[in-house]
Amino acid sequence: MLPQPEPGVFNPIKIDEQLCIRCNLCDWICPGDIIYKEEDNKETLPIIAYPDECWYCGLCDSTCPTDAITIIFPKSMIDNQTDVLRLLGKVVEETEDGQTPGSH
């Protein structure tokens, strides 16, 4: 039986069925194994089997040869105001001579 997403779960990956050539590349490239495409069936579209596990890396979108994939980012991600330095980790301050502490 083909995997099916749970009803009511937000699916960020939209596939244009007119543009999709059923090539399987999105299934192959997705690092989270979120997209499933029946390999030998040129009729079926890819299925977004685990949409809530997508981490928005964009690989499926950038790999698709016909630009059939659109990623819908949730508003909470677009509106995020977290300082990028906090996301990257600690801030290392330079000393007056341009060195970082502990580098002498």
Cβ 91 to ligand SF4 shortest distance, Å: 29
Cβ 74 to ligand SF4 shortest distance, Å: 13
Cβ 97 to ligand SF4 shortest distance, Å: 44
CB nearer to ligand SF4: give 40 or 96: 40
SS (HEC) of 36-97: ECCCCCCCCCCEECCHHHCCCCCHHHHHCCCCCEEECCCHHHHCCCCCHHHHHCCCCCCCCC
Q: At 13, is the secondary structure helix, strand, or coil? A: strand
20 to 49, contacts with ligand SF4 by CB under 6 A?
20-26, 29-30, 32, 34-35, 37, 46
Q: Is 57 in the site for ligand SF4 (CB under 6 A)?
A: yes
HSE-up (13 A, CA, CB side) for residue 51: 19
Amino acid occupying residue 84: V
Contacts to ligand SF4 by CB under 6 A: 13, 15, 20-26, 29-30, 32, 34-35, 37, 46, 54-60, 64-66, 68-69, 71
